[in-house]
Amino acid sequence: NASSAGIKALPGGSVYSATKAAVRSFARGWTLDLKARKIRVNAISPGPINTPGANSVGNSEEEREQNQARFTAIVPMGRRGEPDEVAKAAVFLASDDSSFITGIELFVDGGTAQI
């Protein structure tokens, strides 16, 4: 997956952000490379998502809580997303309901990247 970090700078996150920007670039290139085979390519860019990995960032419980609060604070919707919200976006893009959608980056980030 890509990430909203691929378009928005994060303190200390330049390498992570660069890898996510690369995923976005691959998706755009593959859209053209695979069109003759009728393969659609899209990228999903989650923002802060409530996962065990995200919840474990920090060396102490206090640090983990501070990180969770910091990630929540940047989301215009006022909460972190849930994994099933990202999964539903993936299912949509894989379904025939999105048959005329290709080459996009779908942000599942509560508005983080755009606002």
> What is the residue-wise DSSP string for 33-91?
HTGGGT----EEEE-SB--HHHHT-SSSHHHHHHHHHHHHHT-TTSS-B-HHHHHHHHH
Q: Each residue of 46-77: pLDDT tens digit? A: 999 999 998 888 899 999 999 999 999 999 99
pTM value?
A: 0.83
Given 16, 25, 82, 88, the catalytic residue: 16
Q: Each residue of 14-45: pLDDT tens digit? A: 888 888 888 889 999 999 999 999 999 999 99
Q: Is 16 a catalytic residue?
A: yes
> CATH number of the domain at 4-108, please?
3.40.50.720
